[in-house]
């Protein structure tokens, strides 16, 4: 099947940072008011939530008050706070509080702050884990940054009629390391910028290269320090030894997060964890197996071409063996969707080193098109390789709509002239439950 390269050409490939006085960066009113509020899943099955926020001047309270919609009772959960220093920057007080044992499929309100300076938000827990549970994930790309284009991407996601319920984020957040001395105030502006969604929907975090922040010339030799200080994840519940790789269940999906920039060779902690993790996935309970990483392993753009090759050599055979449904990545500032292919037959003497059609393989989707200051990746390898089904150098966001255990629909929405336009879409048939007798796609059209 011949791949398609979009003929759409953007008017402007560049992205310009929004000024510091933009309303999207506004500090909430009141002395020491909580800011940069965001949530993520707090356990393995969706009955827990980690709530994080920052108070800029003094610790205040790390307690969260929360209650179910229409309930007369309020509960409290106690968290903790931390701070960090990076070169000439000292963070505010970063609070993390985990709420446990929530009811499934329930609206909750929560309040952070102290005294007269409190702020209230809400979220909805997912339905119970199960094979037939429909659920909608948003992909606010990766590589978002904080430009005018980034703001358009968030706005389009907010306005999407598909209404994503949880965001899968594939790395590269604030781009603070693109500024002199890894300007960590950019982490603060990014946290305020994304709060309008991240305080209400869980974001499932993946680390990218812009989160490494390794700068020995500045005296900073601890990788990922700002990222891991600000964005906590429930890695211990999946027996991971690091917050950079972990797994969760949500509705009918099993989501595995990998770290492209941590050691992944044989015998490393990430390798040994994934080696045990993949066989544990029960596809009769969570039929949809999704992997998130930052650097794509199938990429036909000139930018970052073949950077993911070492990860592919190590892990592609596992993705095929365990019938991963889809792998989402970022890094390349553009969009691309692959065919179902694999390149796992090679050994040193057989010369079998080309991707071939493989219906046990995942679809690989690169969605690093959030809008960051580095702009679009526009140069593509030619001719378009056979593994590439569709590619386009535009900014946008994605929606993964799981219908049941057998079918899901993915659409990619281009930021075009102020509107979100569906530029690519595909029906995904579950790799584990894929049988000819399964329900026809016509039932969902």
Catalytic residues: 304
- Measured at the CA of 156, the angle between CA 153 and CA 162, to 5 degrees, comes to 125
Q: Residue 107 class from Cβ within 10 Å (0-12 exposed, 13-18 middle, 19+ buried)? A: middle
Nearest to 414 by CA among 16, 163, 141, 14: 141
Contacts of 2 (CB under 8 A, 6+ apart): none
d(CA 196, CA 199): 6
CA distance 239 to 72: 37
């Amino acid at each position: 099947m011949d791949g398609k390269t979009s003929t759409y050409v953007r008017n402007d490939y560049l992205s310009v940072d929004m000024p510091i006085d933009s309303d999207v960066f506004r500090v909430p009113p009141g002395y020491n008011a909580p800011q940069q509020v965001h949530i993520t899943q707090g356990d393995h099955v969706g009955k827990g939530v980690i709530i994080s926020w920052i108070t800029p001047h003094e610790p205040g309270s790390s307690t969260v008050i929360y209650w179910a919609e229409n309930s007369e009772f309020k509960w409290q959960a106690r968290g903790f706070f931390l701070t960090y220093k990076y070169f000439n920057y000292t963070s505010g007080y970063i609070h993390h509080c985990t709420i446990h044992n929530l009811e499934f499929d329930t609206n909750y309100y929560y309040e952070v702050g102290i005294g007269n300076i409190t702020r209230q938000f809400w979220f909805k827990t997912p339905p119970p884990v199960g094979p037939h549970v429909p659920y909608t994930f948003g992909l606010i790309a990766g590589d978002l940054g904080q430009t005018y284009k980034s703001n358009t991407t968030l706005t389009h996601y907010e306005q999407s009629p598909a209404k994503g319920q949880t965001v899968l984020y594939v790395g590269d957040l604030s781009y603070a390391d693109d500024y002199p001395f890894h300007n960590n105030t950019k982490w603060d502006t990014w946290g305020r910028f994304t709060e309008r969604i991240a305080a209400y929907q869980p974001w499932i975090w993946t680390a990218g290269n812009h989160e490494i922040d390794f700068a020995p010339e500045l005296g900073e030799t601890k990788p990922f320090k700002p990222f891991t200080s600000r964005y906590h994840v429930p890695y211990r519940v999946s027996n991971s030894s690091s917050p950079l790789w972990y797994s969760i269940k949500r509705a009918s999906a099993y989501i595995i997060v990998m770290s492209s920039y941590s050691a992944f060779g044989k015998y490393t902690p990430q390798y040994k964890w994934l080696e045990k993790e993949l066989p544990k996935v029960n596809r009769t309970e969570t039929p949809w197996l999704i992997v998130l990483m930052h650097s794509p392993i199938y990429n036909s753009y000139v930018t970052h071409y073949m950077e993911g090759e070492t990860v592919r050599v190590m892990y592609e055979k596992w993705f095929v063996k365990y019938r991963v449904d889809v792998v989402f990545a970022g890094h390349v500032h553009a969009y691309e969707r692959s065919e179902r292919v694999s390149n796992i037959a090679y050994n040193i003497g057989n010369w079998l080193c080309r991707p071939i059609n493989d219906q046990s393989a995942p679809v690989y989707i690169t969605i690093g098109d959030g809008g960051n200051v580095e702009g679009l990746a526009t140069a593509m390898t030619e001719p378009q390789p056979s593994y590439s089904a569709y590619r386009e150098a535009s900014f946008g966001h994605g929606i993964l709509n799981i219908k049941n255990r057998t079918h899901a629909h993915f659409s990619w929405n281009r930021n075009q002239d102020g509107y979100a336009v569906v530029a690519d879409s595909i029906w995904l048939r579950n790799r584990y439950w894929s049988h000819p007798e399964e329900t026809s796609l016509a039932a969902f059209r």
